[in-house]
Amino acid sequence: MIGSANKSQGTRILGIVPSEEYELTKINDLIADGRPLKDTDKNKIVIGQSLVKKLKLKLRSKVVLTFADANHEIISGAFKVVGIFQSYNSNIEDKICYVIKKDLNELLSIGNNSHQLAILLYNNDDLNSLSQQLKQTYYENQTETWEEISPELSMMVNSMDQYMVIFLIIILLALCFGIINTMLMSVLERIKEIGMLMSIGMNKTKVFILIMIETILIIGLAIPFGVLLAFLTISYFNTYGLDLTNMANETFREMGFQTIIYPTLSYTYYLRIIFIVAIVSFLASLYPAYTAIRLNPVEAIRKN
């Protein structure tokens, strides 16, 4: 429980090692007033903005934290507010406050013990294998993945992945029709030319290769341009963020999401997209090339 001179409220008190915590939660980036906690602080506290309003606090105000220690005895400690954070997640802002782990452990009389250890992976694909490994090795402790802690978030991420696949299919279909349309127009506009080429001795294989080479040249120009455009767009929003505050501020906050999105796209994703686009474009050009080789030179030459 956290109490001010005016009011008290239930809360979660997290004892952190600031330098390590900031690597993971970036809570230091959310400080709206004051400063984040430092490793060297003593009896200092950082609390959320909405809690500040409820308890009518300000910077340098004193608060009293009351809780049960390891022996189930009620103990209290006084802390000074050094920082106020504003979170994109209203639940965190209201229900969590941060103190130095060492201060909390002293009050709890639990030495240097920790209750929670967070592991941040470079690659989410390693999540399940590592979790299984930890569960087997440290079976007396509880190991949970972020998906188990927040299944609704996991479901949302999975749904987004599926949406992405659907979007990708729609975009690739549009690309497919675009290529077919472009190349078909290119063939139909040059029926007479192609008819003449076939008349003077250009065989069907060469006509087919000609259309395919033209498509490859178009793709060869379009892909680098498209990738560069995507890279620049993503880099811009990665730096300056895509602000959705006006669209869904409260909804996002309640769900624990930031309203400013900083998109990233891995290089492997770029490569995968380039490969898929190249294959789809290649397949899409088969039909126009097939149309070209089916032309009858006599009829083609007569076309106006």
Tell me which residues touch other proteins (CB under 8 A): 192-193, 196, 198-206, 297-298, 301
Smallest distance, Å, CB 243 to other proteins?
49
Question: What is the number of other CB atoms lying within 10 angstroms of the CB of residue 229?
Answer: 10
- Helix, strand, or coil here: 198? helix
User: Could you tell me the end-to-end alpha-carbon distance of the chain, in angstroms, rounded to an integer?
Assistant: 87
Q: Are residues 259 and 252 in contact, defined by beta-carbon separation less than 8 angstroms?
A: yes
The least CB distance from residue 190 to other proteins, in Å, is 9
Comparing CB distances to other proteins, the nearer of 31 and 218 is 218
Q: Which C-beta is closer to other proteins: that of 163 or that of 290? A: 290
Closest among 24, 145, 120, 88 to 261, alpha carbons compared: 88
Q: Is 96 left (phi over 0), alpha (psi -120 to 50) or beta?
A: beta
Q: How far is the CB of 205 from other proteins (least distance, A)?
A: 7
Q: Between residues 3 and 297, which has the closer beta carbon with respect to other proteins?
A: 297
Q: What is the closest distance, in whole angstroms, from the C-beta atom of residue 172 to other proteins in the complex?
A: 31
Least separation in angstroms between CB 296 and other proteins: 8
Nearer to other proteins, 198 or 273 (CB): 198
- Tokens matching residue 273: 């997209």
Report the distance separating Cα 64 and Cα 55, nearest Å. 11
For other proteins, the closer of residues 53 and 206 by Cβ is 206
